Amino acid sequence: MIAIADYGMGNRRSVEKALEHVGARSAITADHDEVGAADAVILPGVGAFPEAMRNLRATGLDEVLRERAAAGVPLLGICLGMQLLFESSSEHEGAEGLGILPGAVTRLDAPKLPHIGWNLVTLERGSQLTSGLGEATAFYHVHSFVCRPADEGDVVGRGEYGERFASIVERGNVKGAQFHPEKSSRDGLRLLRNFARA
């Protein structure tokens, strides 16, 4: 069972439908016990980083997510959800993140924002998450901010829009996708299937 963390922001239903499509059982939930008992957790996200962190703290899911990650449970952050895994963001007034991964989130250095559309992601190292995807594949991105991991070894794949940016990250059981796999056709579904089988 995969718990899709429900804190009021994000593409929860489309993630649930995509998981169903690849044969994975999931539940959209804010219940601490359900998230705590899940085999894996997905943190979706659409919107602004500071508001998302306020919502996570208000529901108490911030501490549950940290505990699950520390316990070795597979955790996947999607889009804003990936950014929330890091220590801080400069978006709007700025905010502290979950601090599960070292690094910060800052504005993408590009001539036009937001970055919306299909973007080729070049894989830099092997990962169970990207098994079967080849050396590069296109995913659907919608974002203006990017993660800047403190450890470059955490980067699995990079996209390019104005600058090269971390599009897939992984440190042990904690993984992130800057794009929307649930909106990225066959290869996005493959990535979700890989996560569900982790």
**Alpha-carbon gap, residue 85 to 72, rounded angstroms:** 15
pLDDT digits (tens, 9 = 90+) for 39-50: 999 999 999 999
pTM of structure: 0.97
**Alpha-carbon gap, residue 105 to 115, rounded angstroms:** 15
**pLDDT at position 10 over 90:** no
Residue 147 annotated in active site: no
The three-state DSSP-derived secondary structure of 60-77 is CHHHHHHHHHHCCCCEEE
Confidence of residue 6 (pLDDT cuts 50, 70, 90): very high
Residue 79 annotated in active site: yes
Residue 182 annotated in active site: yes
- The average confidence (pLDDT) of the chain is 97
Per annotation, catalytic residue among 79, 91, 115, 143: 79
Over range 22-42, report the average pLDDT: 97
Angle at 183 between CA 182 and CA 187, to 5 degrees: 75
pLDDT digits (tens, 9 = 90+) for 134-179: 999 999 999 999 999 999 999 999 999 999 999 999 999 999 999 9
